[in-house]
Chains A and B, each alone.
Chain A
Amino acid sequence: MSKIHIRDGRIIDPANQLDQVGDVYIADGKILTIQETPSDFSADININAKDKIICPGFIDLSVRLREPGKSYKGTIASETAAAASAGVTSLCLPPDTSPVIDTQAVTELIADKSEKALYPQVLPIGALTQGLEGKELSSMYALKQAGCLAVSNSNKPPSSLLVLRRAMEYASTHDLLVIVRPDDPALGNNGCAHEGVFATRYGLPGIPEASESIAVAQYLELAELTGCRVHFSQLSCKRSVIKIQQAKKYGLQVSADVAIHQLHLTENDIEAFNSNYHVLPPFRTTEDKKYLRESLANSTINCICSDHQPHDIDAKLGAFPETEAGISALETLLPLMLKLVDDNAISLSQGIAALSHHPAQTLGIEKGRLTPAQAADICIFDPELSWTVNHDSWKSAGRNTPYWGETFKGRVTHTLQGGKLIYTL
């Protein structure tokens, strides 16, 4: 395995409270030393990181790869390549693949395919219930044995609170984290936009905040009852965050993430009937966005995910409500995080922590930090390099992004996973 010497970069490692210019030495897939020159080290690969930032590789808590099942939208190969180019070294794959990740066999198939792709580590999330149908418990022990770190019912919450309670108790028995995208589908009523000024003006079926915050309240009660560890994913509104804040204050073990685009876009930004803005949960109000940003700054929300959902062209053709929801979001993750820093919403160190150290803590894995003897999962980026989202720069099979054609500042130049260079600009 190659010995790698990364020179003269600004090393930011929030977990070790490190922010200084220096060198990183890698051997045997692991970080050998930081700053100190190891004796007898002759590098096979030299990376000049002058004016660049060296940080832990990003850990993305929600990435749809579309394989198995919907490979016309994206494949493990295409989407992990996009992830590598975005500085992502580990990613969580929600269980709503086809077949659903509810057996050891599917879990192993995905692990196998992603190993062959030689890109970021894929962490499959197991299904909470069989087939995500919300009726019977999945074989969580077997899923854990196969490598699942967490279970989730994805975007299909069980309709019975009794089933949910038992599923959470059983998950907790095996010390599995339950990841939740809180949503009450009945209140959402097949809506496609935030129930507010925009939906009213354009006659679009609306989704009230309560469809999320009511679900948050239910999960918090059940977390209390069952002792299950819960992670809320892709929060969109203030009222949800307030509930989580209160629960944390009283000692409940819960964590939360937000999808990067929710920190930037609101209902006011939606171009009328442009289906690239169709996303679930929907873009909310300016006040919600402001509160989400503040909650990230004060660590009520401690992680950022991309909520990457690549789509084929057909999925986004049609009138807005008819189109499929979701944004191809991996490749704009870093520049949008840097924009938060530019807007003085968070510090650069907080932004990096929300993309690396904190997701690792949430999943309970020894990653997301630049510690000697640990796997060399590293992202190197140039914070000043500007680039445009277009056919030449884009890697994902899904081009469904509201940012198409936009010019951003900040781009990943190198990604290392387990000491292997998996991406070079």
Chain B
Amino acid sequence: MKNLQLNSEGRLKHFLSIDGLNKEILTEILDTAESFASMSEQRVKKVPLLRGKTIVNLFFENSTRTRTTFELAATRLSADVLSMNIATSATSKGESLLDTIRNLEAMHVDMFVVRHAISGAGHYIAQNTAPHISVINAGDGQHAHPTQAMLDMYTIRQYKHDFSQLKVAIIGDILHSRVARSQIQALNMLGTKEIRVIAPKTLLPPQVESMGVRSFNTLEKGLQDVDVVIMLRLQKERMTSALLPSEREYFKCFGLTEQRLKLAKSNAIVMHPGPINRGVEIESSIADGDQSVILQQVSNGIAVRMAIMSLTMQSKGEGL
């Protein structure tokens, strides 16, 4: 099957999922992000790499953090940015996804950053858009959120350096999480020693081990000796769809408390893609504590998205 994400020279053309990429590309993204990160600390934060390019943020699903960091990343690359909140725009008037894309294409844009509630929407747009346009997936359904995964990899590398020695635990709603899927794929691609997922059976995908992880149903077992603890956000609707009894019970079993964090290595870092539910999946004192790198993740998001945007825009021609 053709690899939609790479051009004929094997360079990144679209960034839709970690699946289908390779270690070299992921490392290149991380290295490029590193060079942009040092720039953020300077007085002039802009580079002219994407001057004259037009980037459209197409958000079919609400988001503050992801959209803002994409906007900032594009601005720092000197691109022109237009953010569209489609949830309240054309499609609510009955325009199809394809027609929305075609109309924007006609306005000569160079890149779409897309968030959509349905798995595969990013692939669908990439398959149907004009050849000169790059598509970046900012989260599609339960499928993938690859820029989030890359900023997480960046953060892990920043603190832990060598993936081959690491034990990483991902805790929470793995079943519905596009973040977890992309993280698992990226961690595996970068050679992580051991990846664990910890959740009640109702929130674990069937045959999750096929993704290259060990699964646990209790924090007590799963957290033993891990170097990285990644918490996932628990959506309220999981309670109404009979997947969990209550937030309280969830916190009792799967909430990250100081007591439980002691099971991990003493220098373990705690991550969360945000927004966090204090007292539901994580205790406040941990979210704000020494081991938490949650805000660092947000800062890193800008550099990593700058790297991904500039790399996809530098590759020429259509995908294979």
Q: Is the CB of A199 within 8 A of B205?
A: yes
**CB within 8 Å of B: which of A311-332?**
314, 317-322
Let me know if B25 is at the binding interface, CB within 8 A: no
Let me know if B272 is at the binding interface, CB within 8 A: no
Q: Is the CB of A319 within 8 A of B124?
A: yes
Within 8 Å by CB of A319, from B19, B141, B178, lies B141
Shortest Cβ-Cβ A-B pairs, 9 listed: A203-B142, A203-B143, A319-B120, A273-B120, A200-B205, A319-B118, A319-B121, A197-B210, A320-B120
Given A273-B123, A321-B120, are A197 and B207 also a contact pair (CB < 8 Å)?
yes
Q: Is the CB of B120 within 8 A of A202?
A: yes
Within 8 Å by CB of B19, from A197, A199, A201, A205, lies A201
Q: Mark A92-115, 1 if CB is under 8 A from B, else 0.
A: 000000000000000000000000
Residues of chain B lying within 8 A (CB to CB) of residue A199? 205-206
Within 8 Å by CB of B178, from A195, A203, A273, lies A203
A322–B116 Cα distance when bound, in Å, is 12
Residues of chain A lying within 8 A (CB to CB) of residue B320? none
Let me know if A68 is at the binding interface, CB within 8 A: no
Q: A200-B208, A203-B119, A204-B143 are in contact. List 19 more A-B contacts (CB 8 A).
A: A196-B206, A196-B207, A197-B210, A201-B210, A203-B140, A271-B1, A273-B124, A317-B124, A318-B97, A318-B98, A319-B116, A319-B121, A319-B124, A319-B140, A319-B141, A320-B120, A321-B118, A321-B119, A321-B120
Q: Is the CB of B211 within 8 A of A200?
A: yes
Q: How far is the CB of B285 from chain A (nearest CB, A)?
A: 33
**CB within 8 Å of B: which of A255-308?**
271-273
Q: How far is the CB of A267 from chain B (nearest CB, A)?
A: 11
A110–B36 Cα distance when bound, in Å, is 68
A196–B144 Cα distance when bound, in Å, is 17
12 A-B contact pairs sorted by A residue (CB < 8 Å): A200-B205, A200-B211, A201-B181, A203-B141, A203-B144, A204-B142, A204-B143, A318-B97, A318-B124, A320-B124, A321-B119, A321-B141
Q: Is the CB of B119 within 8 A of A319?
A: yes
Let me know if A208 is at the binding interface, CB within 8 A: yes
Given A318-B97, A319-B123, A320-B120, are A208 and B206 also a contact pair (CB < 8 Å)?
yes
Let me know if B89 is at the binding interface, CB within 8 A: no
**CB within 8 Å of A: which of B90-146?**
96-98, 116, 118-121, 123-124, 140-144
Q: Mark A36-77, 1 if CB is under 8 A from B, else 0.
A: 000000000000000000000000000000000000000000
Let me know if A206 is at the binding interface, CB within 8 A: yes
Q: Is the CB of B210 within 8 A of A200?
A: yes
Q: Is the CB of B119 within 8 A of A204?
A: yes
A295–B220 Cα distance when bound, in Å, is 46
Chain A's closest residue to B174 (CB) is A200
Q: Mark B1-33, 1 if CB is under 8 A from A, else 0.
A: 100000000000000000100000000000000
A320–B123 Cα distance when bound, in Å, is 10
Q: Mark B203-241, 1 if CB is under 8 A from A, else 0.
A: 001111011000000000000000000000000000000
Q: How far is the CB of A301 from chain B (nearest CB, A)?
A: 26
Q: Is the CB of A272 within 8 A of B119?
A: no
Residues of chain B lying within 8 A (CB to CB) of residue A321? 118-120, 141
A201–B210 Cα distance when bound, in Å, is 8
Q: What is the number of residues of chain B that contact chain A, defined by CB distance less than 8 Å?
A: 25
Q: How far is the CB of A195 from chain B (nearest CB, A)?
A: 5
A199–B143 Cα distance when bound, in Å, is 9
A195–B204 Cα distance when bound, in Å, is 12
A195–B206 Cα distance when bound, in Å, is 7
Chain B's closest residue to A314 (CB) is B96
Given A200-B206, A203-B143, A203-B178, are A320 and B97 also a contact pair (CB < 8 Å)?
no
Residues of chain A lying within 8 A (CB to CB) of residue B98? 317-318
Residues of chain B lying within 8 A (CB to CB) of residue A317? 96, 98, 124
Chain A's closest residue to B98 (CB) is A317
A203–B137 Cα distance when bound, in Å, is 14
Residues of chain A lying within 8 A (CB to CB) of residue B121? 319
Q: How far is the CB of B190 from chain A (nearest CB, A)?
A: 18
Q: Mark A185-228, 1 if CB is under 8 A from B, else 0.
A: 00000000001110111111110100000000000000000000
Chain A's closest residue to B1 (CB) is A271
Q: How far is the CB of B259 from chain A (nearest CB, A)?
A: 32
A318–B140 Cα distance when bound, in Å, is 13
Which of A197, A203, A319 counts the most B-chain CB atoms under 10 A from its CB? A203
Q: How far is the CB of B125 from chain A (nearest CB, A)?
A: 9
Chain A's closest residue to B143 (CB) is A203
Chain B's closest residue to A200 (CB) is B205
Q: How far is the CB of B111 from chain A (nearest CB, A)?
A: 19
Q: How far is the CB of A189 from chain B (nearest CB, A)?
A: 9
Q: How far is the CB of B17 from chain A (nearest CB, A)?
A: 9
A202–B211 Cα distance when bound, in Å, is 11
A204–B206 Cα distance when bound, in Å, is 11
Chain A's closest residue to B119 (CB) is A203
Q: Is the CB of A320 within 8 A of B1?
A: no
Chain A's closest residue to B177 (CB) is A203
Residues of chain B lying within 8 A (CB to CB) of residue A202? 119-120, 143
Residues of chain B lying within 8 A (CB to CB) of residue A196? 206-207
Q: Is the CB of B119 within 8 A of A320?
A: yes
Residues of chain B lying within 8 A (CB to CB) of residue A273? 120, 123-124
Residues of chain A lying within 8 A (CB to CB) of residue B206? 195-196, 199-200, 206, 208
Residues of chain A lying within 8 A (CB to CB) of residue B97? 318-319
Chain B's closest residue to A322 (CB) is B118
Residues of chain B lying within 8 A (CB to CB) of residue A195? 206
A197–B208 Cα distance when bound, in Å, is 7
Residues of chain A lying within 8 A (CB to CB) of residue B181? 201, 203
Residues of chain B lying within 8 A (CB to CB) of residue A200? 205-208, 210-211
Q: How far is the CB of B182 from chain A (nearest CB, A)?
A: 9
Q: How far is the CB of A409 from chain B (nearest CB, A)?
A: 24
A362–B123 Cα distance when bound, in Å, is 44
A196–B208 Cα distance when bound, in Å, is 9
Q: How far is the CB of B70 from chain A (nearest CB, A)?
A: 20
Q: How far is the CB of A213 from chain B (nearest CB, A)?
A: 15
Q: Is the CB of A272 within 8 A of B123?
A: yes
A297–B290 Cα distance when bound, in Å, is 65
